[in-house]
Amino acid sequence: MSHTYVADTERADLPVTTSERVPPVVAHPSALGLCCVEVGASSVETVLLGPGSAVQRLDGLHPPDGRPLLLAVPGLVHAGRVVAASNLGWYDVDPAEQLGLPVRAAVVCNDAEAAALGESALRPGAPDLVFVGLGTGVGGAVVTGGVAEANLFAHGGRFGDRPCGCGRVGCLETVAGGWALPAPLTAADLPPLAAALAQAIEQEPRASPRLVVLAGGITTAHPHLVPLLAAALPERTVQPTAAATTKSATAWGLRHLHATGTARPRIATA
């Protein structure tokens, strides 16, 4: 089945109904659209994209019902399999099979990589950007020229001496991952969190784009993190997610990968 989305610059922050939006240019539209499933450590979200510009967000896992299935998971992905997703307890599994779905996924991608591509696809001109997703873990990725590279920030750095789930000590995730942050997170916790993120971004040579997108559930719950990070990165532009109606921009990144056939058969990220 062929899907070639020629233009992919629609904005998720526009009113989302089938009738109110101008359909993107679609050379070979799918009659049914795409079923995008984002598997998180604490929840699963299904986003049905298309036909046309329709967007339907559903809590939980919904069967694709004949649509191509596109999956994003927080873990190492290789050749359509999840090599390791420690927050899910998945090791060397077919993710669709693991979810109990009777079909194979057309695309399997690391969630940060898909979200970063989606943030670019949802912005005019599909700009290069640095993506940081704050959730149970830290998802870091960079998009340059429409290609994403993930695994940039979470596991590395010198942020104290707390052991990390990856076996190292002092990873960014030990001071910025949801599992490591104080609960509840208070206003006083946000400046040091923003400072750690800024330090991680500045110390990562691959994180060169000026545009930084700060997303993820923790950012949604604490939107003041965005101006705090902007203040800590005066040479850059920091924006929240462009996906206003879904948990993340992941579905648009998955669609980009499906349309362009650029889901690379390699180890994507942790």
Kindly tell me which of 120 and 174 has the beta carbon lying closer to Zn ion.
174
- Residue in 162, 168, 210, 224 binding Zn ion, rule: CB under 5 A: 168
Decide: is 153 part of the binding site for Zn ion (CB under 5 A).
no
CB of 43 to Zn ion, least distance (A): 23
Sole binder of Zn ion in the list 54, 147, 166, 211 (CB under 5 A):
166
Nearer to Zn ion, 84 or 244 (CB): 84
User: In whole angstroms, how large is the CA radius of gyration of the chain?
Assistant: 18
Closer of 109 and 171 to Zn ion (Cβ): 171
> For residues 171 and 225, which CB has a smaller minimum distance to Zn ion in the complex?
171
Segment near Zn ion (CB under 5 A); pick from 70-78, 115-123, 134-142, 157-165: 157-165
Cβ proximity to Zn ion: between 164 and 257 the closer is: 164
Q: How far apart are CA 234 and CA 211, in angstroms?
A: 11
171 binds Zn ion per the rule CB under 5 A: yes
CB of residue 174 to Zn ion, shortest distance in Å: 7
Residue span binding Zn ion (CB under 5 A) among the ranges 119-127, 171-179, 181-189, 193-201: 171-179
Residue 266, token pair as written in the block = 């390699």
Q: Mind spelling out the 3-state secondary structure of the chain?
A: CCCCECCCCCCCCCCCCCCCCCCCCECCCCCCCEEEEEECCCCEEEEEECCCCCEEEEECCCCCCCCCEEEEECCEEECCEEEEECCCCEEEECHHHHCCCCCCCCEEEEHHHHHHHHHHHCCCCCCCEEEEEECCCEEEEEEECCEEEECCCCCCCCCCCCECCCCCECCCHHHHCCCCCCCCCCHHHHHHHHHHHHHHHHCCCCCCCCEEEEECHHHHHCCCHHHHHHHHCCCCEEECCCCCCCCCCHHHHHHHHHHHCCCCCCCCCC
| Span of 23-31, 41-49, 130-138, 159-167 interacting with Zn ion by CB under 5 A | 159-167
What whole-number distance in Å separates Cα of residue 7 and Cα of residue 40?
29
When asked if residue 164 is in the footprint of Zn ion (CB under 5 A), the reply is yes
State the binding string over 210-249 for Zn ion (x if CB under 5 A, else -): ----------------------------------------
Verify binding: residue 158, Zn ion, rule CB under 5 A. Answer: no
**100 CB contacts (<8 Å, ≥6 apart)?**
none
Closest CB 167 distance from Zn ion, rounded Å: 7
* Closest among 77, 37, 120, 107 to 258, alpha carbons compared: 107
Positions 72 through 111 that interact with Zn ion (CB under 5 A): none
Number of shown-chain residues binding Zn ion (CB under 5 A): 5
135 or 209: CB nearest Zn ion? 135
Q: Single out the residue of 3, 67, 155, 236 in contact with Zn ion (rule: CB under 5 A).
A: 155
Closest contact distance (angstroms) between CB of 173 and Zn ion is 5
Judged by the rule CB under 5 A, the positions of this chain that interact with Zn ion are 155, 164, 166, 168, 171
